[in-house]
Structure 1
Amino acid sequence: MLKNFIKTAFRSLLKNKGFTTINILGLALGLATCLLIVFYVVDELSYDRFNSKANRIYRVNMDLKYGGNVASFAITPPPLAATLAGNFPEVEKCTRLIHDQGIRVKKGNEFIQEEKVVYAEPDLFNVFTLPLVAGDAKTALTAPNTAVITESTAKRYFNSTDAVGKTLTLSNNTNYKITGVMRDIPNQSHFKFDFFLSIAGRADATSNDWNNFSYTTYILFKPGADPKKLEAKLPALMKKQLGANYQQLEKSGGYFKLNIMPLTDIHLKSNRQYELGANSSITYVYIFSAIALFVLLIACINFMNMSTARSANRAREVGVRKVLGSSRAYLIAQFLSESLLVTIGAAIIAVLAAWALLPLFNQVAGKQLMITGQTFAWLLPSLLAIVVVVGVLAGSYPAFYLSAFQPISVLKGKVSSGFKGGMFRNILVVFQFAISIFLIIGTLVIYNQLTYIQHKDLGFDRTQVLVVKNVDVLQSAQIFKQEVAQIPGVKSASLSGFLPTGVARQPDAVFRNKIADPKNALFTEVWPIDEDYLTTMGMGMSKGRGFSRQFATDSAAIVINETAARMLGYGNNALDKKLYRPSGMPNQPLKEFHVIGVVKDFNFSSLRDNITPVVMLLSEDKGALSIKTNNKNMTAFVAQVQSKWNTISPNQHFEYSFMDQDFNATYRTEQRTGALFLSFTTLAVIIACLGLFSLAAYAAEQRNKEIGIRKVLGASASAIVTMLSKDFIKLVLISFAIAAPLAWLGMRQWLQGFAYRQNIQWWVIVLSGLGAIVIAFVTISAQSFKAAMSNPVDSLKDE
């Protein structure tokens, strides 16, 4: 019987090639889109799960309210790890990482800047699953000046993974002995380092300073231990360790809280300062999962609509089968067989399409997804389940609808067929286009916000600013700056690694008087800059002046931003006020500074966040040289700067970027989300239009004789087109009325994640509605015009 079902279904599908082709293409597009999104979601949810003890590993976080500022950090005090491991029975092991700056490693005759560098403890390998291919994990990082590197790094520097015992020479003439080579860290890790240097030997490694926050601390809990019980003990621990400082903080209305986060939550649920890598957001996982489901539903709706619209064509078939003795169950099985055959064909095409599109998808999404044997282990069962569910879901309504026809009514031609009378089908069309309109509005809002970000006045000018990195390796950074300043087209140049593009941060406290009391404090960014910084960055002054070589007293001067002036309570009277900050020496009184200027607020971090206080000091920092130029030929200009660099230090690697590119990189996640949204929206609209095209074709076919009579009686082509189109346009208008408010609410919620955002413009909603109507009209117009221009004799000659 099964063989007969398949044979009959196959013949029926071949008999209606156009219907079958459109159905298979629609489902294939929906399934391929769904598969790509599933790959993305599975990849996002798999972060850090390669660790065999992942369910027992937690990171300790810190929340701080100090001096009026609230901040959340992924770092903790240095002694925390040892204290937890030694005093809490729930803890099996603790390990620390500290990522403070990159290193320059000698390769041949030049030094290469390496940023993927972290200092680690030997217990790293007992907590995380980071297998070594060479060396002993138990002793690899126990001695000072030892290092473990990844396989790819070993090949880059030594052309082989046989690197244990060899030496890495840094630019400061420090040698690190390689004691281990580890496998490359999987892409699905919240940290991705190439160099793991031994913490042993660092001055702060044995520090007992609980007021210093610099280390990332991880806890491996014992099997069966309750992490929440340990978390409940952390406030008492901090109160004990900080003593009088903790009491002062509480009295001032501040707090210092530690909390723990599961390792597997970090990538999608953590966006703190001093993360070890760029994390994503669980929100995007939810959004794309919903899109996958909706696109698949649109494809299923197409199948259901087209099958029921063809009911007139198959009504007599059903009637004859019933007269000949076929049961309703048999007919249902027959129609479901056809549905499953279509779904299987679509699934095969979808897998091939997803495989072919994966490189392009990786490029857009910024992923490195691959279809491997492990992928097939979950993909094949999942795909089989999807085929069955989609096949039954898409074919169930047509099967039950068609099999319910009564033979007498069918054979007398009394069955209501076609587009008219299909209330449930109309509801499905409305649902289909409501989803499409929702996605169109969402796409426009995302691109509108990205455009707003890219063109917003940030309080500084990032155009045509060349940033030369790691200038500190030069013997004389000042000479390099002077040489660069002489290049034609250079307007100004500034030495400082503290740039308003998310590079280098130095949070610290300043005080209103000489007493280091939290009540008098402001927790702020402290940036060392030179006299040319404000000019190079194009920053404007609200009050006073910037630093100048003409004033020797500027060494004890500071410039603050408007937010700092407001939070300090100075208002418009900040000039000549005194501020105090630690001198950097233990047991020394606070150092006094006087305010000489208030710089206009500028966005130095993501536009998701409000502007926070900034205090600028006149101090040497060689992290980078920023060069403002009006040179039109940037390629030639970069070559000139590199020539100056090579003259001063020929063996040092020259590395640069442009400030506007660095700024745009901050919003790479949103840019990728926008591109993916656009791609999936386009596919959803195409799938919806395939269904609408077929419905329009069948509606025109079923009203063929009516059209012929109307034409004979004098109806114009435009009147015929209007008659055939208005029913569909009504459904699109209803879809718009449903989707518009839902999209407005949803995208308004998404925009709440930005401190600086553009409100949803009315024209975005209107344009989306008009776009949907135009798309729908264009889709059905081909069939409508074809029917309107046909010869009425052809449709009436059989009467």
Structure 2
Amino acid sequence: MRGIFYKSKLIFTIFVAVAVLFTLAGVSFVEQRKNAKPVTFLSGQFVVFEIYNAADFTEQDLLRVMERNCGDRGFLCTKKYAEKKGCSVYFSPEMSCRIGITEGRSFSRKDFDEEKNVAVVTGDRQNQPSHIFVSQKRYDVIGTYSPQREGRSSDWFINMNAENLKNKRVYGYYFFDTDRKDCLGTAKKIARAVKDICPEASVTVAGGMSKTGKAMRPEKTNYTDMLGFLIVTAVLVLLNSFSACYYWLETRKKEIAVRKMAGAQGRNIVTWLCREYIIILLLAFFVGVALSELFLRIAIYLPVAHSVEMMFGAHISLSGHCPG
């Protein structure tokens, strides 16, 4: 192993840097795809809000702004918890609850108005738990439902207006839908109202996704700039690997000459070089993934923890970051 790393530190470092950048870019892409999947009961005209930097502006504040701007029109708002495979949801008095309940009951007006900590989960009565915990907060289970589309459902829904979420700051994606045609126009009014209340907030409104779910992503989100930066940086670093590879081969000239003198054939020398090169690549990849995971673990203690979690999630999970 020591021989493999002889004068290989430069190329190894470059490949580790590339692995870190591409790992973070890949995790970010999958994380945003997970966050951008709509719940099954949204109509084809729904809108996506992307909100961050809204200090002291809570989700309940957002719901009040939506109520004022929708007037007598019904609306719903939901927030997807990608890592936990669930959603918080709110239906206005004029909007009927669209969750298809199979056992028990759905959210009632009383649940929303009295800020009850209640949840609806998938499954059946036999396997229905009496309560669930989300972010270490307890929610009593009031009913179960059956997913309408396999692979596009949530394991649970919780009351967005719950007491547990009273001080939850607005951050990330929020899906908004109304019972009227001008959903996007109403959403833009809501975005302006949020900016009026919280001028430092960054609010993006997108027309959501097509009814058939062709693209299954918002039309445009702010994270794409950062994702592009990661990919471009990774490519630029990767370009430097060509000169590093040339230097690495130059350092092997003496050993190649010795092997030839010992009777090694050209094919054997090529096999030896390829083996060492592949080992360096694999080790760099695993080190890069480990460093990426370490970065995400440390980031939760930094002031930018909210931004990092929104961009990359809480940690790297092979099962959680596979498309499907």
Higher helix proportion: 1
Calculate the TM-score normalised by the size of structure 1: 0.23
- Which gives a bigger RCO, structure 1 or 2 (Cα 8 Å, sep 6+)? 2
- Which structure's CA Rg is the greater one? 1
Calculate the TM-score normalised by the size of structure 2: 0.50
